[in-house]
Amino acid sequence: MAGADSVEKLEDVIVRSAEQVAGEVRAAKEAISTVIFGQDRVVENTLVTILSGGHALLIGVPGLAKTKLVETLGVTLGLDAKRVQFTPDLMPSDILGAEVLDETAAGKRSFRFIAGPVFAQLLMADEINRASPRTQSALLQAMQEQHITVAGARHDLPKPFHVLATQNPLEQEGTYPLPEAQLDRFLMEIDVDYPDRDAERRILFDTTGAEQNTPKAAMSADQLVSAQRLVRRLPVGDSVVEAILSLVRSARPGPEAGDLGKLIAWGPGPRASQSLMMAVRARALLDGRLAPSIDDVLDLAEPVLKHRMALTFSARAEGRTIPDVIQKLKSRIG
């Protein structure tokens, strides 16, 4: 009987915490919407990524407020945000930091570590594909393990730590495609599209007048960390787990993909299943629900999977696209 009471109390605590956190996150989303117009889906998926403790790759043409979104998120969520403009001559030490030789007045010499911009809670990697593979790989350890190694010494990054990278899909001259290992570290690939007419009208009036809206803090870093812990405690039904497994496993070449298997060159690994599991929980919390549904799995499947897949040459020659293949995989579930 005592055990049942303790379980009931634990459930009550989770429910109360979820309601409180959901209110805080919704307030943050509303604060962002006063600055970013016409990108509701982008804002939602970015918040889902951050609530999941992950990183996001924002892909869109110039002028769609990708940089503005990251700056606004930093203020709204109370995070220490820094920006790095990736260029072909950028070096790993420009991101991570470096050791310098100091000499005291007494002539004693010692090395001192000067931290780079990666020591932030929210790092914007602007036009990440413009840097060389050597510089891109400087973020691999940071994104996965939350620390870096310089000259054999470990340096822990602040918590929470998130990378929001941007990429221009049009300009490919002088760029270096991200390797699959780095793409897999992004929880989502978020497409930033053009705003609709009403949103663009609002943008015209709100950004060209004498006064402009400025973002306001709605959460703190500590509150965000608590929300991320709560996301991991939300229950997930067996039907949702089976939907995640079926979807991710069918996106790989092999018998589980059925007739679509011949179109897929390589597919997502277990990290995709983990990412989708965290994302559906975070989306449920953002909507004020205590458990995710299969609809969450279907809605988040494309941004979680599409950068973790590649089609065969013959499939591309036939005009097939990854979103089309994912849509057919989704239709098998619901």
Domain holding 146: CATH number?
3.40.50.300
DSSP string of 106-174, one letter each residue: TS-EEEEEEE-TTSSSEEEEETGGGS-HHHHGGGHHHHHHSEEEETTEEEEPPSS-EEEEEE-SS--TT
pLDDT tens-digit readout, 67-125: 888 889 999 999 999 999 998 999 999 999 888 888 777 778 888 888 889 999 999 99
Residues 241, 227 share a domain: no
Whether the pLDDT of residue 4 is over 70: the answer is no
The 10s digit of each residue's pLDDT in 15-62 is 777 778 888 888 888 888 888 888 889 999 999 999 999 999 999 888
Query: What CATH number does the domain containing 284 carry?
Result: 1.10.8.80
Q: Are residues 71 and 172 in the same domain?
A: yes
Q: Are residues 311 and 176 in the same domain?
A: no
- Chain segment 165-207, per-residue pLDDT in tens: 999 888 777 788 888 888 999 999 999 988 888 888 888 888 7
- Judge whether 143 lies within some domain: yes
Residues 221-232 have a mean pLDDT of: 90
Which one, of 50, 13, 44, lies nearest residue 192 by Cα? 44
| Domain assignment of residue 282, given as a range | 234-333
Residues 154, 276: one domain?
A: no
Please state, in angstroms and rounded to a whole number, the distance separating the CA atoms of residues 304 and 66: 19
Do 162 and 28 lie in one domain? The reply is: yes
pLDDT at residue 36 in the model: 86
Based on the fold, state whether residues 37 and 153 are members of the same structural domain: yes
- Using one digit for the tens of pLDDT, what is the confidence trace for 285-322? 988 888 899 999 999 999 999 999 999 999 899 889 99
Q: Assess whether 69 and 182 both reside in one domain.
A: yes
The model's pTM is 0.88
Do 127 and 272 lie in one domain? The reply is no
Residue 187 pLDDT: 94
Judgement on whether residues 239 and 173 belong to the same structural domain of the protein: no
* Inside any domain, residue 133: yes
Same structural domain, 36 and 162:
yes
Asked whether residue 195 is assigned to any structural domain, the reply reads yes
* Number of folded domains that form the chain: 2
- Which among 239, 262, 241, 258 has a CA at the least distance from the CA of 250? 258
Mean pLDDT over each residue of the chain, to the nearest integer: 87
